[in-house]
Amino acid sequence: MKNKSKIEKTIAVAAALLLWQLASVIIGEEVLLVSPFKVLVRLSELIFEKEFYSAVAFSFIRITFGFVLAVAVGIIFATAAYRWHWAETMLWPYMSVIKATPVASFIILCLIWLNSSSLPVFISFLMALPIIYTNMLAGFKSTDTKLLQMADIFRFSFKKKLVYIYLPNIKPYFISACSVALGLTWKAGIAAEIIGIPDGSMGEMLYNAKLYLATADLFSWTVTIVCVSILFDKLFMKLINTMFKRLEDL
């Protein structure tokens, strides 16, 4: 079944690439739509350049740092909001504003407040924070009160309640929040880099590609961003699942 799904997906990707190739042939203008083959050629050139890796590292470190920071702060805030109602009330306006404000507004504000190299960290953090916070709080709130009563009768310590009651309940909420937030942080982080143009970032590379109408570069960097984002998503999710599995094996 799993193999069948993989084969189907491979066929779908191959069909999409073929469609892309056909479209580029029909249009016949590489500036407008470069062919996948040209992108592959340009990408194979880029990966031998030192700047390629430094740009990937630059963006990866900052976006990941922003995301991890959002996870940590989101968990702390959600725990506080679950524990104390006043904390939830006090956090509500911030979370509502962050959720509703267009990312471009934050990017422009951050450019005034911060230097451009800190921009992806802050934007990734802001995009992921309300998602992690909201989901974690929903997870805490959905904890079975009857199980908590049982824990009180059996005099469970806080650690026991956390490991055996809260974490298994929060798990699906946390995984879902991370999955959604990860994709969003990459999109917002790179968008912030394109506007802020920090030196040596993937966003700067994309901006330059646009500036010089280097469509093959634009597509190559986009492919790189998608690949790095998917890879990080998979690695992070594996890490989270391993962490929960270890807790369940305690």
Residues that bind other proteins (CB under 8 A): 146-147, 149-150, 152-156, 160, 164-165, 168, 248, 250
**Of 147 and 194, which CB lies nearer to other proteins in the complex structure?**
147
The DSSP letter of residue 212 is: T
User: Residue 152 Cβ, how far from other proteins at the closest point, in Å?
Assistant: 8
CA 62 to each of CA 58, 122, 213: distance values in angstroms, whole numbers, following the listed order: 6, 9, 27
**Of 99 and 160, which CB lies nearer to other proteins in the complex structure?**
160
**Of 10 and 149, which CB lies nearer to other proteins in the complex structure?**
149
User: Residue 149 Cβ, how far from other proteins at the closest point, in Å?
Assistant: 5
* Type and span of the H or E element at 17: helix 2-27
CA 244 to each of CA 91, 164, 185: distance values in angstroms, whole numbers, following the listed order: 28, 11, 23
Tokens standing for 180? Answer: 């959604």
User: Residue 174 Cβ, how far from other proteins at the closest point, in Å?
Assistant: 14
**Of 4 and 159, which CB lies nearer to other proteins in the complex structure?**
159
**Of 160 and 187, which CB lies nearer to other proteins in the complex structure?**
160
The C-alpha atoms of residue 182 and residue 127 are separated, in whole angstroms, by 9
**Of 125 and 166, which CB lies nearer to other proteins in the complex structure?**
166
User: Residue 142 Cβ, how far from other proteins at the closest point, in Å?
Assistant: 14
Helices marked H in 35-163: 36-46, 50-83, 85-100, 103-113, 119-141, 145-153, 158-161
CA 226 to each of CA 14, 150, 202: distance values in angstroms, whole numbers, following the listed order: 17, 46, 12
Number of other CB atoms surrounding residue 82 within 10 Å: 18
User: Residue 147 Cβ, how far from other proteins at the closest point, in Å?
Assistant: 6
User: Residue 144 Cβ, how far from other proteins at the closest point, in Å?
Assistant: 8
Number of other CB atoms surrounding residue 171 within 10 Å: 17
Which residue's entry shows tokens 């309300």?
130
User: Residue 146 Cβ, how far from other proteins at the closest point, in Å?
Assistant: 5
**Of 8 and 152, which CB lies nearer to other proteins in the complex structure?**
152
